[in-house]
Amino acid sequence: MHSPSSEPRASVFYTYKIHPYRHSPDRDSGRAGAPVVIVGAGPIGLATAIDLSRFGVASIILDEDLQVSHGSRAIVLTRRSMEILQQLGVAKPFREKGLPWSFGRSFYRGKEVYRMVMPHDQDDRFLPGLNIQQQYIEEYLIDFCTKNPLIDVRWGQKVVAITQTKDAATLRIDTPEGEYDMSADWVIAADGGRSMIRKHLGLRMEGRSYPGNFVIADIKAKIDLPTERLCYFDPAWNPGNNVLVHRQPDDLWRIDFRLPDDETPEQALEPATLSHRINAVLEMIRRKVPWKLDWATVYTANTLTLPQFVHGRIIFTGDAAHLLPIFGVRGCNTGFQDGNNLAWKLAFVVRGWSRPALLDTYSSERVQAAREICEEGGKSTRFMTPPTAGARLMRDAVLSFCLSEEFPKDLLHWRTSRPHDYRLSPLNSFAEADAAFAGGIANGQPVRNVKLGEDDYLLDRLDAGAGFHLIAFAGDGEVSGELGRILTEAAHQPFPVIRVLIGRRADEIYANRAELLIADPQGRIATKYAAQAGTVYVLRPDLHVCARWREGNAADVHRALGIAACSPPA
């Protein structure tokens, strides 16, 4: 019998709330089930459930625990993650709590060798990074799930077995009242890095694990330093190794450092050893202040992914699908992109708007993304923790050069999680029309934001609805006959298409039209999208471009929508 702990976890900054186990009446009828069951109330399972609900799809989330995750895990959300959370309608508490940032500093043997400036332009609503502890990420998402009538979160319910047929899956669930079965048309395995479901299906991940152990320690301390990412190579107190320091809300500081090769995790976590090293870090940053330890662990880096995320009725996402090193804030941020890619596709299949083949593109697009991230994460990891004597020699040579020269400094750039570009996706179409643009947002890329007013951005407007977006540019005159036809016909698709009409004086001259109107008086959106009067973009529901024309026509737009939605034959 599963008996999860109802003792709140200890923390010096966070008050853990217990979500009690509740009897689910449907277990008595022997017919427990939902179209979609999500295993795991981690950040990715929760965000995916909210995303599915935007398309009217109900889900049950099962979690073996009664409280949010323990210790220091994801602490940085990228701009793309914030844009996704905004699209889900949940960004507000994250903005209120998190610490935004865009700079970093790297030091070698006590001297600053690199000032990292993360790309940011005036059209971005969010800075490149937002520091916030995973406990808050989960708490805010749980708050939204709990209020959502389409989401049923069940705590203290541990999935212990899973079987499937061609049409459905059955989960065996252990609870404080004993076991019961639940059926689902689709199961999303968001059960984390140690995924029981992955092991149960006997699936193997591809990739590699890296030598070297790192301590992660979170301390509460009043330190008057700005929110920046600080990296110290070869400090005097930890020769040959490196240290990362990150500020988080609530005066919490994440300190990561590599251990000497001959030291065991148990030795590193001995209170006296840990305390000595934390004091050495504080001395190194010239802030010898009192501190309290919140949590510490030892961590190793992996770049591993499943080669296939969809297995019949079971779909893997987040850490259950891939394990990424912490350098470059990739784990949680990659998972949010997985969930955002999966949710609309699964919703379209469940609602009968698309063929199940659409889900194969979730797998191909996100496996490709995971492989790219493993490659990039591997480079960062090899720089942080050189796997051979030769690699260490090269790394140290680069760092030494950086003391006096500018040219190698770019090698120190901390390549972070980035939005993925689905340029090879089978959902893209009309490649020649795409290639005819000189600029703008190409097929496969995520849309780019444009500032429209004091606290008003293009993506704020596009978040008004869930579905494809058809963006039509009308220039500064009347809507042409063909553009009018494109907009009218898009309203008759069997799935939701949000029609957006952009023009210099859209709010005045098209006031009687049914589309979402966006005025672009200075032509800033048109410039960023390389658009002229008659230009049309088709965006998938996850806001990636899948087709565009300098001058569109209704038949082509209809075809592109059908291809991207994997529509069943008429």
Binding site for ligand FAD (CB under 6 A): 39-45, 62-65, 69, 72-76, 134, 158-159, 190-193, 196, 216, 297, 299, 318-320, 326, 329-333, 335
CB closer to ligand FAD out of 51 and 64 = 64
Nearest of 373, 427, 460 to residue 544 by alpha carbon? 427
DSSP conformational letter for 69:
P
CB closer to ligand FAD out of 64 and 294 = 64
- From the CB of 367, what's the least distance to ligand FAD, in Å? 16
Residue position matching structure tokens 């050495």:
280
Amino acid identity for residue 357 in this structure: A
Residue 435, Cβ density class (10 Å: 0-12 exposed, 13-18 middle, ≥19 buried): exposed
- From the CB of 146, what's the least distance to ligand FAD, in Å? 15
Distances (CA, A) of 335 to 78, 117, 202, 383, 472: 12, 25, 22, 24, 31
CB closer to ligand FAD out of 228 and 319 = 319
- From the CB of 404, what's the least distance to ligand FAD, in Å? 32
Cβ atoms of 548 and 437 closer than 8 Å: yes
- From the CB of 19, what's the least distance to ligand FAD, in Å? 11
Residue 127, helix vs strand vs coil: coil
Q: Strands 129-131 and 33-39: what pairing?
A: unpaired
Nearest of 473, 503, 471 to residue 490 by alpha carbon? 471
Q: Strands 314-316 and 33-39: what pairing?
A: unpaired
Give the span between the Cα atoms of 150 and 54, in whole angstroms. 9
CB closer to ligand FAD out of 277 and 528 = 277
CB closer to ligand FAD out of 63 and 139 = 63
CB closer to ligand FAD out of 76 and 374 = 76
- From the CB of 182, what's the least distance to ligand FAD, in Å? 12
CB closer to ligand FAD out of 72 and 242 = 72
CB closer to ligand FAD out of 318 and 446 = 318
- From the CB of 463, what's the least distance to ligand FAD, in Å? 23
- From the CB of 327, what's the least distance to ligand FAD, in Å? 9
- From the CB of 334, what's the least distance to ligand FAD, in Å? 7
- From the CB of 193, what's the least distance to ligand FAD, in Å? 6
Give the orientation angle of helix 331-350 with respect to helix 357-384, to 10 degrees.
180
Residue 490, helix vs strand vs coil: helix
Cβ atoms of 332 and 546 closer than 8 Å: no
Distances (CA, A) of 330 to 232, 373, 427, 543: 20, 8, 25, 20
**Sheet harboring 206-209: ordered strands across?**
206-209, 302-305, 322-323
CB closer to ligand FAD out of 33 and 408 = 33
